Amino acid sequence: MDDCEVTNWDSGIVVYEYPGSSIDATVVNCNIHDNISYGLSTNAATTVTATCNWWGDDSGPNIAGNPSPGDNISTGATYAPWLDAVNGACVMYGDNNVSVGDAALCLTPTNTCVTIPVTFNRLDTTASRGVSVTFQLSPELVLCTGVPSTSITMATGWAAGAADSPT
């Protein structure tokens, strides 16, 4: 499948392998979103290639190891990198990515400071000791008063002995 719109189904794409058969499936450059149970479901013994697809959220599909509000995807498919928007770029999100939380937060005259959660997702299980992320504000914005706050939660894929030590 290439360049398809798959939306508003129970299971958007089903790759079903009948007993005694084999299937080789590839799903790329598709907009897969707003499906009820799964954006992609498979029982195939061979891994389904499902890269460079839009899953309804810039954090990719919802699957173990990549919790996301995007469409669910069953195990048995490669999904990274994925598109960063409908018909977007496939280079933005690969094994490691930074995603910004609730983009609906707005600055107003009565709400002059907002907290924006940023998540660094490590899908690569190779041990790592650290990560560096640079934030840049547009010229129209400034940091709120007070001490900027960061919090890091250690998860799988970090080297033994790594600690929460933001700088």
Q: Give the pLDDT of residue 90.
A: 80
pLDDT at 36 over 90: yes
Handedness of CA 121, 92, 40, 61 (dihedral sign): positive
Closest CA to 13 of 86, 66, 74: 74
User: Tens digit of pLDDT for each residue in 3-25?
Assistant: 999 999 999 999 999 998 988 99
User: Tens digit of pLDDT for each residue in 136-165?
Assistant: 666 767 667 666 555 555 544 455 555 544
Contacts of 56 (CB under 8 A, 6+ apart): 32, 33, 34, 39, 69, 70, 71
User: Tens digit of pLDDT for each residue in 110-144?
Assistant: 777 766 666 565 555 566 666 666 666 667 676 67
Q: Give the pLDDT of residue 7.
A: 96
- The residue among 88 and 121 whose pLDDT is bigger is 88
- Alpha helix segments (H runs only) across the chain: none
Q: Give the pLDDT of residue 125.
A: 56
pLDDT at 95 over 50: no
Neighbours of 47 (CB within 10 A): 13
Q: Across residues 50-60, what is the average pLDDT? A: 91
* Average pLDDT across the chain, whole number: 76
Q: Give the pLDDT of residue 85.
A: 84
Q: Give the pLDDT of residue 136.
A: 66
Structure tokens at 69: 């509000």
